[in-house]
Structure 1
Amino acid sequence: MLHASSQRFISTSSRLHHTHFRFPPKPSRSFSKPRHIHQTQIISHPSCTTHNEFLDFFEHILRQCTGHKQCKQVHAQIITTGTSQSEFLAAKLVTAYARIGLIFDAQKVFDTGPVEGRSNLLLWNSILRANVSHGFYEQALKLYDKMKNLGVLGDGFTFPLVIRACAFMDRLKLSKNVHSHVLQMGFQNHLHVVNELIGMYGKLGRMDCARRLFDRMRVRSYVSWNTMVSSYAFNYDCDGATEMFRRMELEGLEPNPVTWTSLLSSHARCGRREETIQLFGMMRVRGVGTTAEVLAVVLSVCADLAVVDRGKMIHGYVIRGGFKDYLFVENALICMYGKCGHVEDADKLFLGMESKNLVSWNALISCYAESGLCDEAFTIFSQLNNHPFMRPNIISWSAVIGGFSSKGRGEESLELFRQMQSIGVMANSVTISSVLSVCAELAVLNLGKEIHGHVVRALMQANILVGNGLVNMYTKCGSFKQGHLVFENIDSKDLISWNTMIAGYGMHGLGENALRIFYQMLELGFKPDNITFIAVLSACSHVGLVTEGCRLFYQMIEIYCIEPQMEHYACMVDLLGRAGLLHEGSNIVKNMPMEPNARVWGALLNSCRMHKNTDIAEETATHIFNMNSEITGSYMLLSNIYAASGRWEDSAKVRISAKTKGLKKIRGLSWIEVKNKVFMFSAGNTMQGGLELIHGILKDLALQMEREGYTPDKRIIQQNVDKELNLMGEA
């Protein structure tokens, strides 16, 4: 479609029909009806038109191009008419190609453009904008460097583009160099340039530099204030964002919806979720128009708080406010319902969506996976895999792999990981973390080492999530040297890194090593949390460090102000009980500020078995049985305690009681990996091949143990043998 005024460019002397292009119709009173423009019709006699009119005409046509065919046809017309040497048209061609995503063609136009264009700032800015807008930041910076070397000086349009590229490249030194160019060229007071500099330093985590620039500004726009607030939000500094928000009000500016969005986002990112909800309420009271972005932030907070009632209230506001057409809002609603455990509502919302993107599918898959419904998650995943236009991405794969991993279905999780690799989907840190967790639980060290090799090749070893996963895998597999080496190579250790290393040493009975890591952590200024103390108290328990454990328990309460939870009390009962201090352990249980659960009583009962104390064991067992606990192990423990004391009748009664309640002991399982193959053994299974050879080795080991002075308690052994024979009989 052409502007009516373009009729003057059409030569009436030419009526040849050559290759043509058609512009899509667009209703406008200044546009004629759609028509075919023939190649020869644009070629006019020199006497009928001027060079500038040609440039205006083609510039107008290029603005109307919406597809690659149109763009290329106009490009051909420009070459035919001899106007391709115009720097102005070259810049417009670059912009047109970039607008429809043809960056390669845009670059080709720039590279083959007129020699005089090498000094044309419009052309340079066009190619810079094309690269920055499509994420080719490295190429944009190379072009800027080339531009400087040719002596072309940037302007107020050049520097914002280059500064934005620096921000996304995360290169502080380069960013400061560009900042110095800004100062040399005298743009230190240019509003748009300084706004971009503030945003750049914010993305680089240098809020001190951003704040100095902001304070020196003679004139500030809403963009200046909003950039500061959003930069504080990006850097998890909600106090800084709040301070800037209040300062804005004090200087007479009313925060707009963008400002409020950044303020709410800062509080949500900092984990101050209740305050985020309160700010949203304040925003509504002040009559500030709610945006779709604000609703998405508030819905994410409702999801994290698992407050489905508030989430439903926001859902109602979404419907009443007309925000249902925003896809990211609907996706946020699915996530909210999923994290609150209302997967049916999430599914219903998903099915009712008119349009879905990959985020929608991933949100629903994650809902089911995080709710422990990994089979349902896999069903949705399979539907996505058969979709005509979309395929699962790494987020989809990570969700189902993590879902099976969290439910203890490690083999299926690993099989999915293998399938993902076979089709060429590159794993991310979340996927690797899930697979490493499976390797740790199954104690498959060789596979864990293979994953480690993949991590090194993919240059992911610097990722803290992956590093912590590797430490966990190596320590749980008993490979402490390698685990400690990975731990030491983590540049920015977080509390999870330290907790994982402490727990790894502790669970294998290396309490002194665990304490050494704990005190090293304190020296470096880390503050332990409740997980840290569970790990370190458990480590003390396994090696009998009673005095040290009691001292740490006291410090946890008095120095670090951590209220003991059920797990801490269980550790202390186990610590005292293992050391034979059964009365002290019993007193802790009786004086707990909350009702002890079956695991706390179980720790005390296990200590009674170790020290053959039937009196406390009977009292403890009474509490457990009164709780209607379905932990079969407690019944088996008491039965073994009676058996060890020769009270066979009582032992039998306990087992009958467990059987009457329908409790069944899960058969003991163990497994070992040999030559990349996992061999699993279960109690009572005498049909597995190769057991004869293993039994022979076990007899040799038993004889060697007896020669070295170890005498097994054959009463318990006999009781366990009888128990396994009964299980075999039931099977």
Structure 2
Amino acid sequence: MLSFSVLPDGFSFPLVLRACANLGDVGLSEIVHCHVVQMGFQYNVHVGNELLALYWKVGSVEVARRVFDKMVVRNIISWNSMVSGYAFCGDCDGAFGIFVGMESEGLEPNLVTWTSLLSSFARCGRGDELWELYDKMKRKGFGDSAELLAVVISMCADRNAFCKGKMVHDSVVKGGFENYTIVRNSLICMYGKNGALGEAEYLFSELEAKSIVSWNALISSYAESGFCDESYEKFLQLENSNGSPFVKPNVVSWSAVIGGFASKGRYEESLQLFRRMQLAKVVANSIAISSVMMACAELSVLRLGKEIHAHALRNLADWDMLVINGLINMYMKCGSLKEGKSVFYRTVRKDLITWNAMIAGFGFHGLGSNALSMFHDMIGEGFKPDECTFVSVLSACSHAGLVAQGRQYFDMMKREFSIEPQIEHYACIVDLLGRSGLLNEASDIIKSMPMEPNAYVFGALLNSCKIHKNTDVAEDTAAHIYSLGSETSGSIMLLSNLYAASGRWADSAKARLSAKEKGIKKLPGQSWIEVKKKVHIFSAGKSVNTGMEDIRTILDTLGLQMEIMDCTQRESFMLDTDNHKISIHNMHEECMLCELS
């Protein structure tokens, strides 16, 4: 058009600007904007509105604000564009500021304005203010819309607002909105995330056309309620359904089931699902990657964790805070402190979880001084610690035996940061004092607790009694555990072993017999090692991996060979058994036995 010297006007510019927004081309948008200014159309209200929509869509918040401020004439669309733009960016204060300015200029907000405003507060998680605004809207005589009800219902997924959610559901039924898919999907989420899975299942079954959003709402509901098997069953139903080709598992579906298994501690299944997702050519999002990182951290599979890190880098997800925090947690828990610190110091915008992961990681490996140094660096950066921070700090002091510092930080919680110690903090301080032999002081702490001690608190003290062989305090502690009705195999075995270490064999046998009568079984400890991408598991008393027969055969043969040889002489020999060659060079008998064990 321009090449034929036909100039654009107030009708053609909006169309071109809309095309630029759909393309997301910032450079092209700026060129067209220059044309608008050169031809004097920047004061045209329709052109101005399209410029606002364009810059909000490409994420140029400051430019959008400047365009809005320079508009001579604004209509309701101009104001709504600004409110919805701030809502899209999750800036509810900015959205509310525009809303107030709109009212001050005498313009009455419409239903679109209210929906965008409420949406901004929903995105920010500020439910109380959302409800105040919703009540204000209703008092002004505004009715509901499907979009507005979906926004309001989304805030009722929180358990504290479930009763309000049921009231809104009544409004949905009375207003005839229950057959709107967007509303029903929000209701499925609300009931599902509050554990009312029967209602969620019913609402889903009543949908005539089930979209992928509907399926994901139900799958996520089961996963977040802890029913990962049921969530996976729904996922398989979606995967095997013969519906629309567009209704098939997407990244949200995969992320929900992967996260569900990870949150229940079923990490191997979580990793297997991630592999399946990769084979299905579905690019993982930050939620899926962070879930897999948690699985790698708990299983201590560093090689796989590095592989996932590379995957995140290839898919440009390493800048996401969920991924960054997952990486730090994984590296620190796997003992790769150098890589963990490297990710931490490369991160420009850290949040509290980032700092907590570092503090917990240092404490986990007994590096108490490093953990406390990181804590003070965090304070110096202007971050306020939370309950999780102090659990990590106290745990670090316990692992490193820093008694004086542990007392100091326990007192600091309430005195400087107004954080009331919870049951986890008391368990940490009892563990710290008990490990250091201060059993009476640990007992006094338990007696002074403002809440009822649980099995974890008493268990920490009982473990300390075993370390210091104090049967008197142990018996009293065990009595408290029994009175709670929550005795575990761990606590009973601790007491039994303590009796045995003190030579009280009858009491040791009595404790074990008590466990047997109550049907309490101790799960055997396990160790595992990964060799050539294969995991070998060793268990106390037996082995669940193959190949142990060959090892025992070789050991028996070596034992026989040592009996017939003079092992005190410094000599070498080569043994070949079942194609296994073992060389032992110039070793004394003790050295050989130590090496073989």
TM-score class, shorter: 0.7 to 0.9
* Corresponding residue for residue 234 of structure 1: 88
Question: Aligned ranges for residues 339-488 of structure 1 at < 5 Å?
Answer: 339-388=193-242, 389=244, 390-488=247-345
Question: Which whole-Å deviations, capped at 9, do the CAs of 1:173-200 have from their partners, x for residues lacking one?
Answer: 8866765554443233222333344455
Is 1:164–1:196's contact at 8 Å kept on the other side of the alignment?
A: no
Is 1:307–1:340's contact at 8 Å kept on the other side of the alignment?
A: no
1:578 and 2:432 correspond: no
Alpha carbons of structure 1 residues 581 and 318: separation in structure 2 relative to 1, 3 Å:
same
| Residue 213 (structure 1) shift | 4.3
1:253 and 2:107 correspond: yes
Is 2:14–2:46's contact at 8 Å kept on the other side of the alignment?
A: no
1:547 and 2:404 correspond: yes
CA radius of gyration, larger in: 1
* Corresponding residue for residue 620 of structure 1: 477
d(CA) in 2 for partners of 1:620 and 1:448? Answer: 41
TM normalised by structure 2 equals 0.85
> Given the alignment, which residue of 487, 493, 516 partners 2:373?
516
2:241 is aligned with what amino acid? Answer: H
Question: Which whole-Å deviations, capped at 9, do the CAs of 1:438-479 have from their partners, x for residues lacking one?
Answer: 222221222222222222222322222222222222222111
Alpha carbons of structure 1 residues 222 and 357: separation in structure 2 relative to 1, 3 Å:
same
Question: Which whole-Å deviations, capped at 9, do the CAs of 1:112-140 have from their partners, x for residues lacking one?
Answer: xxxx774376xxxxxxxxxxxxxxxxxxx
Greater alpha carbon shift after TM alignment, 154-163 vs 182-191:
154-163
Question: Aligned ranges for residues 718-729 of structure 1 at < 5 Å?
Answer: none
TM normalised by structure 1 equals 0.71
d(CA) in 1 for partners of 2:481 and 2:161? Answer: 34
d(CA) in 2 for partners of 1:692 and 1:167? Answer: 66
SS of residue paired to 1:681: strand
SS of residue paired to 2:153: helix
d(CA) in 1 for partners of 2:283 and 2:91? Answer: 33
Alpha carbons of structure 1 residues 210 and 422: separation in structure 2 relative to 1, 3 Å:
closer
- Unpaired segments ≥5 residues, structure 2: 560-586
Is 1:578–1:607's contact at 8 Å kept on the other side of the alignment?
A: yes
> Given the alignment, which residue of 579, 594, 602 partners 2:459?
602
* Corresponding residue for residue 329 of structure 1: 183
Alpha carbons of structure 1 residues 168 and 498: separation in structure 2 relative to 1, 3 Å:
farther
1:492 and 2:377 correspond: no
1:690 and 2:545 correspond: no
Alpha carbons of structure 1 residues 664 and 395: separation in structure 2 relative to 1, 3 Å:
same
> Given the alignment, which residue of 648, 662, 685 partners 2:505?
648
2:391 is aligned with what amino acid? Answer: I
> Given the alignment, which residue of 265, 274, 282 partners 2:136?
282
1:450 is aligned with what amino acid? Answer: E
* Corresponding residue for residue 192 of structure 1: 46
| Residue 599 (structure 1) shift | 0.7
d(CA) in 2 for partners of 1:653 and 1:164? Answer: 81
SS of residue paired to 2:99: helix
Is 1:159–1:182's contact at 8 Å kept on the other side of the alignment?
A: no
* Corresponding residue for residue 88 of structure 1: none
Is 1:160–1:193's contact at 8 Å kept on the other side of the alignment?
A: no
* Corresponding residue for residue 134 of structure 1: none
2:338 is aligned with what amino acid? Answer: K
Is 1:605–1:617's contact at 8 Å kept on the other side of the alignment?
A: yes
User: Identity over the aligned pairs, expressed in percent?
Assistant: 57
| Residue 282 (structure 1) shift | 2.7
2:13 is aligned with what amino acid? Answer: T
d(CA) in 2 for partners of 1:328 and 1:671? Answer: 48
Is 1:167–1:201's contact at 8 Å kept on the other side of the alignment?
A: no
Alpha carbons of structure 1 residues 612 and 211: separation in structure 2 relative to 1, 3 Å:
same
d(CA) in 1 for partners of 2:544 and 2:258? Answer: 33
* Corresponding residue for residue 100 of structure 1: none
Alpha carbons of structure 1 residues 460 and 240: separation in structure 2 relative to 1, 3 Å:
closer
* Corresponding residue for residue 4 of structure 2: 119
Question: Which whole-Å deviations, capped at 9, do the CAs of 1:628-686 have from their partners, x for residues lacking one?
Answer: 01422112222222222222222222222222222211121222212211111222215
SS of residue paired to 1:559: helix
d(CA) in 2 for partners of 1:503 and 1:226? Answer: 46
Alpha carbons of structure 1 residues 307 and 696: separation in structure 2 relative to 1, 3 Å:
farther
d(CA) in 2 for partners of 1:350 and 1:522? Answer: 48
2:330 is aligned with what amino acid? Answer: M
| Residue 359 (structure 1) shift | 0.7
Is 1:273–1:305's contact at 8 Å kept on the other side of the alignment?
A: no
Greater alpha carbon shift after TM alignment, 553-562 vs 326-335:
553-562
Alpha carbons of structure 1 residues 234 and 529: separation in structure 2 relative to 1, 3 Å:
farther
Question: Which whole-Å deviations, capped at 9, do the CAs of 1:53-94 have from their partners, x for residues lacking one?
Answer: xxxxxxxxxxxxxxxxxxxxxxxxxxxxxxxxxxxxxxxxxx
Is 1:163–1:178's contact at 8 Å kept on the other side of the alignment?
A: no
> Given the alignment, which residue of 61, 85, 98 partners 1:244?
98
1:446 is aligned with what amino acid? Answer: R
Is 2:524–2:539's contact at 8 Å kept on the other side of the alignment?
A: yes
d(CA) in 2 for partners of 1:489 and 1:209? Answer: 30
| Residue 301 (structure 1) shift | 0.7
| Residue 608 (structure 1) shift | 1.6
SS of residue paired to 1:236: coil
Is 2:13–2:36's contact at 8 Å kept on the other side of the alignment?
A: no
Alpha carbons of structure 1 residues 486 and 665: separation in structure 2 relative to 1, 3 Å:
same
Alpha carbons of structure 1 residues 591 and 169: separation in structure 2 relative to 1, 3 Å:
farther
SS of residue paired to 2:417: coil
| Residue 168 (structure 1) shift | 7.7
Alpha carbons of structure 1 residues 575 and 160: separation in structure 2 relative to 1, 3 Å:
farther
1:677 and 2:538 correspond: no
Alpha carbons of structure 1 residues 164 and 117: separation in structure 2 relative to 1, 3 Å:
closer
SS of residue paired to 2:542: coil
* Corresponding residue for residue 571 of structure 2: none
SS of residue paired to 2:538: strand
d(CA) in 1 for partners of 2:40 and 2:2? Answer: 24
Is 2:387–2:419's contact at 8 Å kept on the other side of the alignment?
A: yes
Question: Aligned ranges for residues 205-244 of structure 1 at < 5 Å?
Answer: 210-244=64-98
Alpha carbons of structure 1 residues 581 and 357: separation in structure 2 relative to 1, 3 Å:
same
d(CA) in 2 for partners of 1:240 and 1:461? Answer: 29
1:639 and 2:524 correspond: no
d(CA) in 2 for partners of 1:488 and 1:407? Answer: 31
Is 1:365–1:378's contact at 8 Å kept on the other side of the alignment?
A: yes
| Residue 245 (structure 1) shift | 2.5
- Unpaired segments ≥5 residues, structure 1: 1-115, 122-151, 708-731
* Corresponding residue for residue 514 of structure 2: 657
